[in-house]
Structure 1
Amino acid sequence: MSANLPLFSVLLGGDYAGKSSAISRLAGGPEPVRVVSVDDRFLTERHALIGRLRREVVKDVAAPDGAYSPDFMASMLQTAVVHLRDQLLTAARTADGRPLLVDSYYYKILAKCRLAGVRENPMYDWWRSFPQPRHVVYLRVAPQEAWRRSRRGRGLNSLEHYGERPDRMSFERYQTDLEKLMWDEIRDLPVTVLEQQGSPGRTADAVREVVCHDGV
């Protein structure tokens, strides 16, 4: 890793693994963690475009009606990937001593693009050339629990299941394939797997223990 880039960790996991709840708690507390994410709550007003683009991609571009090609969808999702990379570069200039945690980085988006039918291409190679984390924290949750958290499919979008209409089988098959592809991307990195915790607070505490006491 280049000397002018910060050391950072990545928080990764399947859909409804609890990442959003964890990073919200990690941003506060007695040992605050600096979070880089494309979730709306972590986007500044000047970067609100990223959130709007992400929502429109999920709602319209990724819809299973064939109006847009998988390649077009990937091109739109690339805005989020590049934004995360840019925020890492910004963090190098404004380091404040807090551990730096990136939400999913490019790993999850790349995996979802592959599941949507986007084959290996130079765009992926570019993403893979981005700085790699010191550590990946992987949240693993039981498929039945993830399904429950999705309100049994009512909260799902088209990039979280197979087919036009979600059911438990299409959701669990998608999540199994998503996990495999994400592991393809991180297999050569140090990874700590955190199994399902009893509450969002305990999940956040477990992640904080890793990222705050790993020398990051």
Structure 2
Amino acid sequence: MKEDLPAQAPFRVLLGPDGAGKSSVMAELRRRCPQWRFASTDDAFVDEEHRLVRDLRAHVENDVLPALGDTYSTDFLAGLLQTAVLYLRDRIESAPARTPLLVDSYYYKILAKCRIAGLKDNPMYTWWRTFPRPDAVVYLDVSPGTAWRRLRAGAGVNRLESADVDSGWFGFESYQRELRKLMMEEVRQVPVVTVDEQPSVARTADRVLEVLAP
């Protein structure tokens, strides 16, 4: 008799604009649900054996983005961002079968940001779209105004978060609205549940748990 093959680990994606609070919500869920697994490129979720992922993320933020268009091209940036996509895919494919897994943004947000950066069509997008599909996407819907306040009125905003960093709020709002549109385009073939803006991380985590409950 042929043995049953292990099932693909079920996974969901937590998606949202910059400043939506995904990392904070994932940290809260990890505290409440130790039986779950979490995949993210944020430092708090990357273990020591994958420290290269943390290092690359830091170099993108500190070295590449400030020199984008001068020292580094958008193609070079996209090549570095692809490492994050592959890291998340690898975490999905290596997850134990039947263990709930929550993934931060997956390739959807990075793809949308690459498109905004000027890479409208790229062969790697076709490849990314062949990667494992989540059971559902949970979208944390916060207004650009709320996100702006959470990001200290734009004090930490970079060129992957604003159409024009020097224009302050206006560049940020424009970028975030376009980002939302493109992310929604990418997840149109996946069930999407929207979690409306909540007054706290704990309340947001409550709503996400309600959505993800079997």
The aligned residue for residue 22 of structure 2 is 19
The aligned residue for residue 105 of structure 1 is 106
Q: Do 2:65 and 2:159's aligned partners in 1 also have CA atoms closer than 8 Å?
A: yes
Displacement of 1:30: 5.2
Separation in 2, partners of 1:171, 1:8: 31
Separation in 1, partners of 2:195, 2:125: 27
Give the direction of change, closer, same or farther, for the CA distance of 1:210–1:7 in structure 2 (3 Å limit). Answer: same
The aligned residue for residue 8 of structure 1 is 11
The aligned residue for residue 124 of structure 1 is 125
After the TM superposition, which segments of 4 or more aligned residues of structure 1 sit over 6 Å from their partners?
Answer: none
* Structure 2 runs not aligned, ≥5 long: none
The aligned residue for residue 44 of structure 2 is 41
The aligned amino acid for 2:190 is L
The aligned amino acid for 1:80 is A
Paired-residue identity, %: 50
The aligned amino acid for 2:20 is A
Separation in 1, partners of 2:99, 2:211: 13
Displacement of 1:59: 2.1
Q: Does 2:169 align with 1:168? A: yes
* TM-score normalised to structure 2 length: 0.92
The aligned residue for residue 72 of structure 2 is 68
Describe the superposition over 1:132-186 as per-residue Cα deviations: whole angstroms up to 9, x where unpaired: 1010000000111111111111021221111242511110000000001101100
Q: How does 1:81-160 map to 2 (within 5 A)?
A: 81-91=85-95, 94-95=96-97, 97-160=98-161
Describe the superposition over 1:40-74 as per-residue Cα deviations: whole angstroms up to 9, x where unpaired: 11111010110110121122222245211111100
Q: Does 2:81 align with 1:77? A: yes
Q: How many residues align?
A: 209
* TM-score normalised to structure 1 length: 0.91
Give the direction of change, closer, same or farther, for the CA distance of 1:21–1:207 in structure 2 (3 Å limit). Answer: same
Give the direction of change, closer, same or farther, for the CA distance of 1:183–1:30 in structure 2 (3 Å limit). Answer: closer
Displacement of 1:98: 4.0
Give the direction of change, closer, same or farther, for the CA distance of 1:112–1:41 in structure 2 (3 Å limit). Answer: same
Separation in 2, partners of 1:32, 1:146: 30
* Structure 1 runs not aligned, ≥5 long: none
Displacement of 1:208: 1.6
Match for residue 28 of structure 1 among 28, 31, 40: 31
The aligned amino acid for 1:176 is R
